[in-house]
Amino acid sequence: MAERSFKAEVEHLRKGESDVFTGEGILAITKALLENGVGYVGGYQGAPISHLMDVLADAEELMAELGVRFEANASEAAAAAMLAASVHYPIRGAVTFKGPVGVNVASDALANLSSSGVTGGALVIVGEDYGEGSSIMQERSHGFAMKSQFWMLDPRPNLPSITKAVKDGFELSEASNTPVMLTVRIRSCHVTGSFATRDNQRPPLTVAEAVANPRSDFNRVVLPPMSYLHEQDKVKNRWPAAEKFITENGLNEVFGPDEASLGIVLQGGMYNTVIRALQRLGLADLYGETEVPLYVLNVTYPIVRDEFDAFCEGKSHVLVVEEGQPDHIEQQLASYLYRAGRSVKLHGKDVLPMAGEYTGQIMLDGLTTFLKEAAPALLPGNVRAPNAEAPEIPDLSQTVPIRPPGFCTGCPERPIFAGMKLVEQELGKHQITGDIGCHLFACLPPFEIGGSTMGYGLGPASNAAFDGGGERRAISILGDGGFWHNGLSSSIGNMVFNKSDSVAVIVDNYYSAATGGQDVLSSRAQNDSKSTNNPIRAALEGVGVKWIRQIDNTYDVGRVRDTLKEALTTEYAGPKVIVMSSECMLNRQRREKPQRAAAIREGRRVDVPRFGVDADVCTGDHACIRLSGCPSLSLKKLDDPLRDDPVAHIDQTCVGCGNCGEVADAAVLCPSFYRADIVHNPGRFEMWRAGIRMKFIHWLQARRDRIRLRMDSAA
């Protein structure tokens, strides 16, 4: 069950010659793969390409009709290894994953693939997750492309350019026997537009046909002495072939006047931001016609020296727009100019930030600074003066509250960390490591549990140094997605092999929830094309874990607390693993809300639980908020002049999980929480009973008001 279904949009993938496709960049990439005769597709989900995996999964029937194999891989490494099918066979293959973390995980397979070279076109679609919308460490994939000699495409962020890049990528790969990396930024993945479609192509050689006629070539096996020849082949044959293809087919683009004293070299993915900044300066129009020459690198590696030399002809100043660091492209271009003895002044990170996303305002400021030196006459009069001050940007930090990421309302992981806080209060603070996934939000208030993450599935492994027999056992967190991705071998297997005495908590929310709710091996859903319902406990027992506890309702905070305490105090010396299972609330709501709405429309009786706080009972100490942190649990100011402090309050976003009441009970807080069941389409008896209850309640309220002691003047 993914975050979003693309069943309706997938039908547009059947469009053929002379049709027009309109939709998101993710769908456009899928259509381009089918149009260019891809033979197999794989990958691992992760922003910003999670939806690409979801589209491929929903389009599995269409791909089967064309003889295309689709694989939802166990990890990025498994996806990259899948491209081995293109080493010996002339089959086009594509895989996708989040970069650069996906590139890091897949690095071993990618390096071997690049060394051996390919026969069929091999395309790695990398969701370049960089900038303010990123969820990972700030790195680029460019360095890996240089290290292993992967050609890298970075197309302009519009659908015709993106789909053309898929075609160019396959052809470039085949022309140079080298795998190609196609990078698409967040905006490229979700940009909406149109392009003219072509007929989908059945691969000339399908994987089924290839496996029936096996091939092998020892020259492509990465072992000495062939690995030494691979390096020579890269430099002497593959690189020149790639440059020739790039030049002859015009993969890079030049816009603007033929002759000018200045120019801009930019990554293709930065084109929209650059052209918008030029528009704001009056140097380009809405259609992209620019007064400043632009050399757009739709291929950012390799850089074709002859093309760059031709662009620099007659220019005195050239600006390099390269988002992120290190400044690989700028350094390469500077070396070209130096070796050619040119007097062109190269600008880049001197006028633009070394690190950080190039937003619209940053780009405008950088181009303005560049033009003030290179061609001040081109600037509008109000910004032409060298010391002209930019308009002051207001400081909103005091008026707009920060919004750190956190657990969703009703998240089943929240009570796990509430229980862990209760154990901490009793046994003291423990060394705790987190892992990649929703559970990492526990390192933020109100829980502040766990302060490090070293990679997907590496939570327990990153605690290995602390398993030295101290007074308190270390605790590590691992999600079900991370468990199946890498954690079973690298973390749990590592604990068993080294006879670890620490505690691992596996948070099982039934899905790869953080990437959009895709199924994993232990998902409870029935999946027609994938194997699910494989218990995590069985895998743990299979690798030798003896001490295992299973909790199937994480909202039982008392049991969570007691089980954690048992793991931390037991005399058993060995790996201790607690599997805590409850369904991701977002996926549960996506499934249940439509069912509930349909039942209500049909007139069937439906109970919807809601929780509340009795303001007369609440003491206002807010301990429940500090131990829960649920977004639906907030504060409410009372009109009672004798009560200054606001009381706890549950708003209408409550999903009825019951965590707040469970926390209050387990922590022995005030008994102010109550549950109310909202009944839709009640029966006649329920209506009569509700009427009697309301009359009795009103009588009691009136009686209380009559005998209440009043302090106002009217009393």
Q: Using the predicted structure, report yes or no on whether residue 452 has a pLDDT greater than 70.
A: yes
Those residues with Cβ within 8 angstroms of residue 646's Cβ, 6 or more apart along the chain or in another chain: 620, 635, 636, 637, 638
pLDDT at 704: 84
Residue 662: pLDDT band with limits 50, 70, 90: confident
Q: Using the predicted structure, report yes or no on whether residue 713 has a pLDDT greater than 70.
A: no
Q: Give the count of beta carbons closer than 10 Å to the beta carbon of residue 64.
A: 12
Q: Using the predicted structure, report yes or no on whether residue 401 has a pLDDT greater than 60.
A: yes
| Cα–Cα distance, 241 to 94 (Å, whole number) | 21
How confident is the model over 604-632, as a mean pLDDT? 86
pLDDT at 8: 80
pLDDT at 58: 87
Q: Using the predicted structure, report yes or no on whether residue 551 has a pLDDT greater than 60.
A: yes
Are the C-beta atoms of residues 579 and 551 closer than 8 Å to each other?
yes
CA distances from 166 to 35, 157, 433, 703 (A): 10, 13, 40, 77
Q: Using the predicted structure, report yes or no on whether residue 388 has a pLDDT greater than 60.
A: no
Are the C-beta atoms of residues 554 and 563 closer than 8 Å to each other?
no
State which amino acid sits at residue 432.
Answer: I
pLDDT at 475: 94
Share above pLDDT 70 across residues of the chain, in percent, rounded to a whole number: 96
In the DSSP assignment, the letter for residue 675 is E
pLDDT at 390: 56
| Cα–Cα distance, 547 to 507 (Å, whole number) | 17
Q: Using the predicted structure, report yes or no on whether residue 283 has a pLDDT greater than 90.
A: yes
Q: Using the predicted structure, report yes or no on whether residue 210 has a pLDDT greater than 70.
A: yes
Are the C-beta atoms of residues 480 and 536 closer than 8 Å to each other?
yes
How confident is the model over 482-509, as a mean pLDDT? 94
Query: What radius of gyration, in Å, describes the C-alpha atoms of the chain?
Result: 30
CA distances from 259 to 363, 380, 397 (A): 24, 21, 46
| Cα–Cα distance, 115 to 227 (Å, whole number) | 7
Q: Using the predicted structure, report yes or no on whether residue 712 has a pLDDT greater than 70.
A: no
Are the C-beta atoms of residues 34 and 66 closer than 8 Å to each other?
yes
Q: Estimate the share of the chain in helix, then strand, then coil, as percent rounded to the nearest 5.
A: 40, 15, 40
| Cα–Cα distance, 347 to 340 (Å, whole number) | 17
State which amino acid sits at residue 27.
Answer: L
pLDDT at 715: 46
pLDDT at 71: 92
Q: Tell which wins on pLDDT, 389 or 646.
A: 646
pLDDT at 146: 95
Task: Report pTM.
Answer: 0.88
| Cα–Cα distance, 317 to 343 (Å, whole number) | 9
CA distances from 255 to 153, 167, 235, 293, 300 (A): 18, 22, 31, 6, 17
Q: Which residue has the tokens 């402090």?
A: 645
pLDDT at 382: 62
Q: Residue 494 corresponds to which tokens in the numbers above? A: 């590592």
pLDDT at 671: 84
| Among candidate residues 483, 429, 443, the one with its CA nearest the CA of residue 459 | 483
| Cα–Cα distance, 612 to 633 (Å, whole number) | 9
How confident is the model over 170-179, as a mean pLDDT? 98
Q: Tell which wins on pLDDT, 579 or 446.
A: 579
Q: Using the predicted structure, report yes or no on whether residue 470 has a pLDDT greater than 80.
A: no
| Cα–Cα distance, 343 to 198 (Å, whole number) | 47
How confident is the model over 607-624, as a mean pLDDT? 86
In the DSSP assignment, the letter for residue 712 is S
> How would you label 32-45 residue by residue, b for 16+ Cβ within 10 Å and e otherwise?
bbbbbbbbbbbbbb
Q: Tell which wins on pLDDT, 39 or 136.
A: 39
Residue 91: pLDDT band with limits 50, 70, 90: very high
Which domains does the chain possess? 18-197+216-248 (3.40.50.970), 253-384 (3.40.50.920), 414-587 (3.40.50.970), 604-706 (3.30.70)
pLDDT at 2: 57
Specify the DSSP element, H or E, that contains 706.
Answer: helix 684-707
| Cα–Cα distance, 452 to 432 (Å, whole number) | 8
Mean model confidence pLDDT for the chain: 90
pLDDT in tens, 123-167: 999 998 888 777 788 889 999 999 999 999 999 999 999 999 999
| Cα–Cα distance, 686 to 679 (Å, whole number) | 9
Specify the DSSP element, H or E, that contains 70.
Answer: strand 69-72
In the DSSP assignment, the letter for residue 548 is E
Q: Using the predicted structure, report yes or no on whether residue 708 has a pLDDT greater than 80.
A: no
616-622 contacts at long range (C-beta below 8 A, 24 or more positions apart): 617/670, 617/671, 617/672, 618/647, 618/648, 618/670, 618/672, 619/670, 619/672, 620/645, 620/646, 620/647, 620/648, 621/670, 622/648
Q: Residue 452 corresponds to which tokens in the numbers above? A: 């490090």
| Among candidate residues 428, 422, 575, the one with its CA nearest the CA of residue 498 | 575
Q: Using the predicted structure, report yes or no on whether residue 312 has a pLDDT greater than 80.
A: yes
Residue 4: pLDDT band with limits 50, 70, 90: low
Query: What are the backbone angles phi and psi of residue 331, rounded to the nearest 5°?
Result: -65, -40
Most confident range (mean pLDDT) of 57-66, 302-311, 586-595, 635-644 is: 302-311
CA distances from 103 to 3, 179, 243, 715 (A): 24, 13, 24, 76
DSSP of 400-432, one letter per residue? Answer: S------PPTT-TTHHHHHHHHHHHHHH----E
DSSP of 497-544, one letter per residue? Answer: HTT---EEEEEE-SSBGGGT-B--TT--S--SSS-----HHHHHHHTT
Q: Which residue has the tokens 């300066």?
A: 281
Are the C-beta atoms of residues 583 and 509 closer than 8 Å to each other?
yes
pLDDT at 383: 62
Are the C-beta atoms of residues 344 and 315 closer than 8 Å to each other?
yes
pLDDT in tens, 407-443: 899 999 999 999 999 999 999 999 999 888 888 888 8
CA distances from 314 to 253, 293, 309, 311 (A): 18, 12, 10, 8
Q: Residue 374 corresponds to which tokens in the numbers above? A: 């290179």
**Would you say how long the chain is, in residues?**
715
Are the C-beta atoms of residues 474 and 432 closer than 8 Å to each other?
yes
State which amino acid sits at residue 260.
Answer: A
| Cα–Cα distance, 269 to 183 (Å, whole number) | 9
| Cα–Cα distance, 289 to 267 (Å, whole number) | 18
How confident is the model over 36-60, as a mean pLDDT? 89
Residue 653: pLDDT band with limits 50, 70, 90: confident
How confident is the model over 246-251, as a mean pLDDT? 97
In this structure, of 335-349, 433-447, 660-674, the range with the lowest mean pLDDT score is 660-674
Q: Using the predicted structure, report yes or no on whether residue 219 has a pLDDT greater than 80.
A: yes
Are the C-beta atoms of residues 383 and 593 closer than 8 Å to each other?
no
State which amino acid sits at residue 569.
Answer: T
Q: Residue 92 corresponds to which tokens in the numbers above? A: 């086009």
How confident is the model over 586-597, as a mean pLDDT? 90
Q: Give the count of beta carbons closer than 10 Å to the beta carbon of residue 157.
A: 23
pLDDT at 268: 96
| Cα–Cα distance, 593 to 570 (Å, whole number) | 43
